Structure 1
Amino acid sequence: MKKENKKLDHLFEKFENQWDIEIIKNNHEERFVKKLKSKKSNWKRFVAIGIAASIIVLLSLSIFNHTPKKTEELQFASKETKQTDSIFTVLIERELDKINEKKSPENKKIIADALKQMKVLDADYEKIMQELKTNGESKQIIYAMISNLQTRISFLQSVLQHIENKEQKINIADEKTM
């Protein structure tokens, strides 16, 4: 500790005549407080202007941003038809998720073929929906819609069953070789 004090004393002695010493004027504290207060008022203005500019930007974005919303999904005449479509759509999505979970190098080709077939069934469904838009609900169109949805679900279930059977056969073969 004494060595450190000696080093500091030596340092102060070395630079003793080089210190920048200035005598403070009489009203120094008053001038300092005055400058400090004047800077605060500028800061308050800057904050207020920044907040106002942010509000203007947000308002202009919300007013001038006219992105088309997906309000026009399908205009079904009856709630039952819309409900049927949404239920089947959820079921189809669940089956697709199950199939995608089963992705593996062994199942790659089966899943790719299944997705191609699903695109064909989706295109047929889109044609039925276009027909529904133009001609309105009729028994034939609703039957075609439900039939397409059922076909897609059945198809996905059979693909999933096929994948599971294939995995089971592989597991059984692996057990026999051990």
Structure 2
Amino acid sequence: MKNENEKLDQLFENLENQWDIQEMDNQHLDRFSKKMVLKKKKRNYSFFYAVAASVVVLLSITLFYTNNDKPRELKFASKETKQTDSIFTVLIRNELEKVKEKKSPENEKIINDALKQMKSLDSDYEKIVHELEVNGESKPIIYAMISNLQTRISFLQNVLQRIEETEKFKNLNDEKTI
């Protein structure tokens, strides 16, 4: 330990004449104090902007990716009615996809008309569901609901059949012209 202290003493003795011992002018302290006050006043808002931007991005992602295609839940319906609705809804969705896949310039009018008709049937179905929620389950409401679902499925099947007939007729005409 003595040896280390002696080394330190010797180091400081060697540096004795090299120390900067010049005194600062009187205004140095004032200038330094003013700079510190300015730094305190000047706030760095970049952190707050980053947090706000992150919150906005998260909210927009949340709102954008909320699943609007959630299966509609019949709140006041029995288990059987809910199952019937979900089965028919899947069938209707599948038939509708088949119709949309068949879209071409030749049958575009048929498909557009079918989609308009489906919107009308959908709005009728929404009225039936509202009636079900307001008045509860009754045989006439359940029959109307099932009838609407069956009508939509058979309508889409008829549209598919009409499209296929149109395609066959076009193919036959194309073959005859060759």
| Same fold (TM > 0.5) | yes
The CA RMSD measured in Å over matched residues stands at 2.8
Unaligned runs of at least 5 residues, structure 1: 1-56
Contact 2:77 / 2:132 at 8 angstroms: preserved in 1?
no
Which position in structure 2 is the counterpart of 1:100?
A: 100
Which position in structure 1 is the counterpart of 2:49?
A: none
SS in 2 for 1:137: coil
Deviation at 1:72, TM superposition (A): 7.5
Which position in structure 2 is the counterpart of 1:109?
A: 109
Which position in structure 2 is the counterpart of 1:144?
A: 144
Percent identity of the aligned residues?
72
Correspondences of 1:2-81 after superposition (within 5 Å): 73-81=73-81
Aligned length: 119
Deviation at 1:78, TM superposition (A): 1.4
Q: Partners of 1:125 and 1:77 in 2: how far apart? A: 14
Task: Look up the equivalent residue of 1:152 and give its one-letter code.
Answer: R
Which position in structure 2 is the counterpart of 1:130?
A: 130
Contact 1:91 / 1:153 at 8 angstroms: preserved in 2?
yes
Deviation at 1:172, TM superposition (A): 0.9
Q: Partners of 2:90 and 2:143 in 1: how far apart? A: 19
Which position in structure 2 is the counterpart of 1:175?
A: 175
Q: Partners of 2:110 and 2:174 in 1: how far apart? A: 21
Contact 1:76 / 1:82 at 8 angstroms: preserved in 2?
no
Which position in structure 1 is the counterpart of 2:90?
A: 90
TM-score, structure 1 length as denominator?
Answer: 0.60
Which ranges of 4 or more aligned residues in structure 1 deviate by more than 4 Å?
A: 69-72
Q: 1:71 to 1:113 in 2, by over 3 A?
A: closer
SS in 1 for 2:85: helix
Q: How far does the alpha carbon of each residue in 1:29-77 deviate from its partner, in whole angstroms, 9 at most, with x for none?
A: xxxxxxxxxxxxxxxxxxxxxxxxxxxx99xx8xxx898x969732143
Q: Partners of 2:91 and 2:150 in 1: how far apart? A: 10
Q: How far does the alpha carbon of each residue in 1:106-160 deviate from its partner, in whole angstroms, 9 at most, with x for none?
A: 1111100000011110010000000000011000100000000000001110011
TM-score, structure 2 length as denominator?
Answer: 0.60
Unaligned runs of at least 5 residues, structure 2: 1-53
Q: Partners of 1:177 and 1:153 in 2: how far apart? A: 36
